[in-house]
Structure 1
């Protein structure tokens, strides 16, 4: 599984990269295996992903590979309903997936990525040449 790159407010740069990749594909140029990116519009949005409860859930999924939401709730010693809500939010943003769940079977939460790489630029890289330097 790849690592998910998480950014905040870099929509302009990501849009430019996307346009470059589309152009390269149209010109039949080889494309690199780009890292998947999840961009949040604000730190407040990012804080939902990085809440202590969500991080505990992600760690429990990675370490114990629970077979159900209930088992995940037991691992983090929390109420099923709260854990279900947190896992559903994590699924909505693409950090986890659910397997199974049909014909009365429990939904198995599973990680969609090996890890998260958090990239938080403190300056706008488009406005300052120094910020864009390696």
Structure 2
């Protein structure tokens, strides 16, 4: 089963749906196949959170399953403090979790896919263009 994280641009920062899905996964429960939803405050924040460097880190975590942030930093050829800062931001948004592995914190991505909705505005639908 493919786990999908749905991201939308909105005015709320309610992460409860996402947090509930993460909690269920943590205790080994099956989760609703409907995508968990993360609401990002605005386009500026979305652009900061989903920079190419962030996507590179997420992809490296999924593909390589690093045992620590230091190992992840080596994989992407970056300095560990830079990677730590970015990973902590991704953790704050629920995009990455940490699992303790001895003294190391292992970054984990629990979803396989990100689906993004960006509403450009409200427009009345003209029947001739439907």
The alignment's TM-score, normalised by the length of structure 2, stands at 0.73
- Between the aligned partners of 1:118 and 1:85, the Cα distance in structure 2 is 24
Q: Are 1:94 and 1:112, in contact at CA under 8 Å, matched by a contact in 2?
A: no
Structure 1, unaligned stretches of length 5 or more?
A: 19-31
Q: Which residue of 1 aligns with 2:124?
A: 128
Deviations 1:3-34 (A, max 9, x none): 111111265xx9xxx9xxxxxxxxxxxxx754
> Could you say what the CA RMSD is over the residues aligned between the two structures, in angstroms?
2.4
Deviations 1:82-131 (A, max 9, x none): 101111110110011000155xx21000102112101112223xx6356x
Give the 5 Å matches for 1:1-134: 2-9=3-10, 34-100=34-100, 105-124=103-122, 128-129=124-125
- Between the aligned partners of 1:35 and 1:123, the Cα distance in structure 2 is 23
- Between the aligned partners of 2:88 and 2:65, the Cα distance in structure 1 is 17
Instruction: Specify the structure having the higher radius of gyration (Cα).
Output: 1
Aligned residues: 109
The alignment's TM-score, normalised by the length of structure 1, stands at 0.71
- Between the aligned partners of 1:108 and 1:9, the Cα distance in structure 2 is 30
Q: Are 2:11 and 2:42, in contact at CA under 8 Å, matched by a contact in 1?
A: no
Q: How far 1:72 sits from its partner (Å)?
A: 0.3
Q: Are 2:3 and 2:33, in contact at CA under 8 Å, matched by a contact in 1?
A: no
